[in-house]
């Protein structure tokens, strides 16, 4: 898999990597964004933004999304995990072939948009 992330500071847009899979079937699934101040681009297919829950609920939500079997990637704004949570979620990500990305947002008031390709 090849990845690259670019950032355009003048437009406050983050370009996330395109997942390159060996077969087309491996790239199917939903991308989820748990966020309070960031959204996906409107034309992104198979992407769902969910209002980020209270911090203590975030690990459970991540686990549920991963184990649903319909998830390809999860983006979480200001992700904070304990070492134990990190280990268990990493194992689930490997088991279910899910990418977990922590998104740091510096300006929560700007029109923050996550831009594909997905």
pLDDT > 70 in the chain, percent: 65
Task: Kindly state the tokens that stand for 114.
Answer: 């996550």
Domain layout of the chain by residue ranges: 21-115
Predicted local distance difference test score (pLDDT) of residue 90: 94
* Helix boundaries (H) for the chain: 58-67, 83-96
- Count other C-beta atoms under 10 Å from residue 15's C-beta: 14
- For 17-49, the DSSP string reads PPP--SSGGGG-SEEEEEESSEEE-TT-TTEEE
Q: Is residue 12 predicted with pLDDT exceeding 70?
A: no
Which of the four CATH numbers 3.40.50.261, 3.30.499.10, 1.10.357.10, 3.40.50.300 does domain 21-115 have? Answer: 3.40.50.300
Q: Is residue 58 predicted with pLDDT exceeding 50?
A: yes
Task: Kindly state the tokens that stand for 5.
Answer: 């992330």
């Amino acid at each position: 898999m090849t990845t690259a992330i670019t950032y355009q500071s003048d437009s406050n847009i983050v370009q996330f990597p395109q997942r390159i899979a060996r077969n087309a079937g491996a790239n199917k699934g939903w991308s989820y964004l748990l966020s309070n101040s960031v959204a996906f681009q409107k034309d992104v297919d198979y992407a769902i933004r969910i209002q980020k829950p209270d911090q203590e609920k975030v690990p459970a939500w991540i686990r549920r999304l991963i184990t649903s079997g319909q998830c390809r990637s999860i983006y979480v704004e200001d992700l904070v995990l304990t070492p134990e949570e990190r280990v268990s979620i990493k194992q689930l990500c490997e088991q279910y072939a899910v990418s977990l990305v922590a998104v740091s947002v510096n300006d929560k008031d700007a029109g923050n948009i996550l831009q594909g390709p997905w």
